[in-house]
Chains A and B, each alone.
Chain A
């Protein structure tokens, strides 16, 4: 399982994350940052958000706070940018959550309709992250 690269993270962060009804932005972004090696295991949920907002694409996340539920568009924008996953022409030109959500549907990170403002569940976040890791490993 590609998510095994995340096992070094604080178990308490993950334990707290997976019981939530909707995935919080701080933990979701922290998982991406740690999976791509931008933050280490000791980083906190707040560090995840701070890291994301410092990125060039971070301003597209717009007024997001650590405890907010993360949407399909926001999460996949962060995921695709961090993993350098290429997308369509308009995603490349504008790089907004809306185009990231559509790209997530096309690339089958999301099964069914990829609603841009869908509040993702922890399972959905882990599934997309796992798929990105798997595909990245396959390309290597």
Chain B
């Protein structure tokens, strides 16, 4: 005991003098709407008060914390049979969100991070989500080998963004469930930088998830979904002002006793004129889908036969603003013009063509089996103003409109009010 005290007395002052830290508070305010569900138009506010703290003892031992108290509220307006609008009230709740509580560091070419952390696959099209686990990366040959093993089941159900099955969706609305969908995540990837000079950086990876839901939590008509994703990403410059970014993902897995395969491909070109922050991008994304005959909804309710719908683990890569569509059974073509003279202000104008890949469900409740064969979901236009006049204050305004295609079904009580689907959003952020 005396020995330990002596060692502490000798080394503690050294350790404390090397202890470095910083931290702060962030306030993020968001309001947007309307989102349409049946006869209801919903306006949402999501407000976060976050604390963050970073500290370092040395290169081997560093600590990171980022936690928030989130207030999420919905105000609903409904149209009745007389086409009169009525206010249904505000429904809100508080919940915790923990994005970082981990130790990290590096030693002899190895980097590690252990604890709660955000994990994203190389393209963030499969998963970008908090998990509890261990991530290790190391230099190997000319590139970087990265591995992650983690568990998502300790993330609060309201903060979780995993909705692969109907059971996951039900869990999010279950007030008795504090924790969200439980998945074990494994990932390994290798990045070979500039394999062809500036023309190509290549990343290959495998990500897998196992559905650990308890039997009693599995919804009727749903089942466990286990998946493995094989991924290849390439990016580089075709010309000094022309950059490309492409991702190919092949998914294989099982939904109960059914096979669950799928694919996703994305290709984006960026035109980057020198001497400015402005750019123009043109991108196309295609993911496989499944027909109505083989599943009742996007989440595989009452699925039958071999399933061919791409299902990402989290919804980080979703497309569309007015209709926020997850990356299954989706084809999207987007042209974006971003004008910015400095990092204080940007004006963005984009248009996105949204289609189903096959005549089946997508992740919006406005796409139902209405007998229409049309794959065209709609044409979206989005205008965004982004301000960051100071390091600790930012704001943005988004104005979106979707001209719906025949695949979209709007309730007949609401339809007279909605020749097009509009959406407006405001964001404010302060850090202090």
Contacts and interface: CB of A to CB of B under 8 A. Distances in A.
Interface of A: 87-91, 98, 101-103, 106-107, 113-118
Nearest to A93: B432
Contact of A102 (B19, B20, B391): B391
B388 to A, nearest CB: 10
Contacts of B392: 88-91, 102
A118 to B, nearest CB: 5
A115 B391 contact: no
A88 B391 contact: yes
B22 A115 contact: yes
A52 to B, nearest CB: 22
A90 B432 contact: yes
A91 B22 contact: no
B112 to A, nearest CB: 17
Contacts, number: 39
Given A113-B54, A115-B56, A107 B22 contact: no
Contacts of B385: none
Nearest to B24: A102
A113 B393 CA distance: 19
A101 B390 contact: no
Given A90-B432, A113-B54, A101 B391 contact: no
B20 A118 contact: yes
A90 to B, nearest CB: 5
Nearest to A117: B20
B21 interface: yes
A88 B21 contact: no
Interface in B8-27: 19-22, 24
A107 B391 contact: yes
Contacts of A115: 20-22, 54-56
A116 B22 contact: yes
> Which 3 pairs show the lowest CB-CB distances between chains A and B?
A115-B20, A88-B392, A88-B391
Contacts of B55: 115
A75 to B, nearest CB: 14
Contacts of B20: 115, 117-118
A113 B24 contact: no
Given A114-B22, A115-B21, A89 B393 contact: yes
Contacts of B21: 115-117
A90 B56 CA distance: 25
B22 A102 contact: yes
A138 B381 CA distance: 39
Nearest to A107: B391
B245 to A, nearest CB: 24
Give the interface centre of A101, A103, A106, A115 by most chain B CB atoms within 10 Å: A115
B80 to A, nearest CB: 47
B158 to A, nearest CB: 29
A12 to B, nearest CB: 28
Contacts of A102: 22, 24, 391-392, 431
Contacts of B391: 87-88, 91, 102-103, 106-107
Interface string B12-47: 000000011110100000000000000000000000
A91 B20 CA distance: 20
A107 B393 CA distance: 14
Nearest to B17: A119
A107 B392 CA distance: 12
Contacts of A103: 391
Contacts of B22: 98, 101-102, 113-116
A115 B59 CA distance: 13
A89 to B, nearest CB: 5
A102 B21 CA distance: 11
B14 to A, nearest CB: 13
Contacts of B56: 113, 115
Interface string B377-404: 0000000000000111100000000000
Contacts of A98: 22
Nearest to A71: B20
Contacts of A89: 390, 392-393
A67 to B, nearest CB: 15
Contacts of B432: 90
Contacts of A113: 22, 54, 56
Contacts of A118: 20
A126 B56 CA distance: 23
B393 to A, nearest CB: 6
A113 B390 CA distance: 19
17 contacts: A88-B390, A88-B391, A88-B393, A89-B393, A90-B432, A91-B392, A98-B22, A102-B24, A102-B391, A102-B392, A107-B391, A113-B22, A113-B56, A114-B22, A115-B20, A115-B56, A117-B19
Contacts of B24: 102
